[in-house]
Structure formats: C-alpha cells, structure tokens
Amino acid sequence: MPRYRLTIEYDGTGLVGWQRQDNGPSVQQALEEAFTAFCGESVTLSAAGRTDAGVHALGQVAHVDLDRDWPAETVRKAVNQHLRPQPISILDAAEVDEEFHARFSAVERAYLYRIISRPSPLALEQGQAWHVPRLLDAGAMHETAQVLVGHNDFSTFRDAQCQAKSPVKTLDELTVGRTGELIEVRARARSFLHRQVRSMVGSLMHVGEGKWSAADLRAALEARDRAACGVIAPACGLYLVEVGYR
C-alpha cells in the first residue's frame, strides 16, 4: 500500500480547523473527500499538527495511504482539481516509505504570527492578520521574547483543553521583526502546546504597548498559571509555515 507525503497550503478562514468536526467544514474533510472523488477510495489523512479554526498554513504536512500506486504528480494535480474552489492546495506530493508519519516523524515545527499595527482598519488583510490599532514597539517585543526561549514549563501559555502529557517544552526560537506596518513573530520548536504561540504573542503585545516589561513576562512564565497569561491573540494571524523532518 503506497504512502504519500503531502505539503499543503490553506486559508483557514471559515474552516473549523484541520480536524474533521460536526460543526462545520474542515481541511481534513475537504482533502479526504477530494481523494475519494479522485480514486474512489475512502481514506484518512494524518497531519503534522491540528491547526485551530481560522488558522492558516503555508506548509502543513500530511500523509495518506492509497491502494493503488499512482505517480505522485498525478495525485497532486488530480486532488487539487477536486478541491476547487476551496482555499486548499497541495503544493507537493511525494511517495514515501511506510515508516514515515507526518506527525510522529516530525522533528521541528515553525509558525509565523502576523500583526498589522496601524490606526486604520484592514481591508485587504482582513482575516489574514491581527489588527492592532496602536503603534507597537517591535524591538522591545523581540528583546523581551528571549525570556521565553529555551527549556521551560509553559503552563501559563497552555490552553485549558491541551492534551499534551507535559507542559514542558523547548522553544528554539522566538523572534519579532517589523517591516512598515507589519510585525512578524516567528516561533520554532520540536512541538508546541495547544494555543501556545497565540498565548505568547498576546503577552508580547502587552510588551509592545509598554504595559509589560521583561520582568512581567518572566513572572508570567514562572507563575505556571494560565491566569497569568496576557490576552490570546486571534487565530487569523497564525500560520503553520514549515514542518521539519530528518
């Protein structure tokens, strides 16, 4: 039974997230239905991460097993054809061995969070970024973000519904940069807790406003208490950028 690795891009606006759910359309459902339309098989896709409702992806990775050995390029083209007009696209398909698993073989995940800091509301970027109608100090955000880098207990930045066995994670990178009105927060780690990135970004926003200092962020981290977290950044600004494998 051949296994295919898929690299997928999608706009999460209007979707309930990656995982199939009863309360609305999901990325997983759309892809599985497109595969059935293509090859007549009932399939189940496994993804590197289950993005939440409204979260986007530039490089989500999933795998699927098919009964027939199709050329990978045929899979990509045919499934994309059946996905139209939904905002989901398979960027690349490759046949892999059965030991590959999109989730468990991953050794790194990279996320991007986009903030547009300006007084006027968004027109073209609505649903694609967090609009903050105040000027944020991106330099202070970046400097203070380094408090969170490393091996820490991230209970403060963990959603109450998180199913991870431990709140302890190693955050390899957390950077903040500005280009004009756009502020980009980039995070990289082997794995993340549920809503960890959005929780960290919301707390860093307080730093950008001048409401929190590095000491405040460190105190929030060391509290290991969800109540110590700042606001939770909205889903619309978050993108799963890349999943790394050995």
Return the CATH fold of 109-245. Answer: Alpha-Beta Plaits (3.30.70)
Tell me, what's the pLDDT at 131? 98
Tell me, what's the pLDDT at 1? 87
Q: Choosing from 11, 22, 52, 216, which is the catalytic residue?
A: 52
d(CA 200, CA 182): 18
Would you call 123 helix, strand, or coil by DSSP?
coil
The pLDDT averaged over each successive group of 10 residues in the chain (246 residues) is 97 96 94 97 95 97 96 98 97 97 97 97 97 97 98 96 94 98 98 97 97 97 96 98 96
pTM, two decimal places: 0.96
What are 159's two structure tokens?
A: 């959603």
d(CA 70, CA 19): 25
CATH number belonging to domain 3-96: 3.30.70.580
**Residue 165 host element (H or E):** none
d(CA 48, CA 60): 7
Contact 132, 116 (CB under 8 A): yes
Half-sphere exposure of 215 (CA within 13 A, CB side): 0
Tell me, what's the pLDDT at 22? 87
Task: Write the DSSP assignment of 77-105 as a string of letters.
Answer: HHHHHHHTTSSEEEEEEEEE-TT--TTTT
**Could you state, in order of their start, the residue ranges of all structural domains in the chain?**
3-96, 109-245
> Could you confirm whether 52 is annotated as catalytic?
yes
Tell me, what's the pLDDT at 158? 96
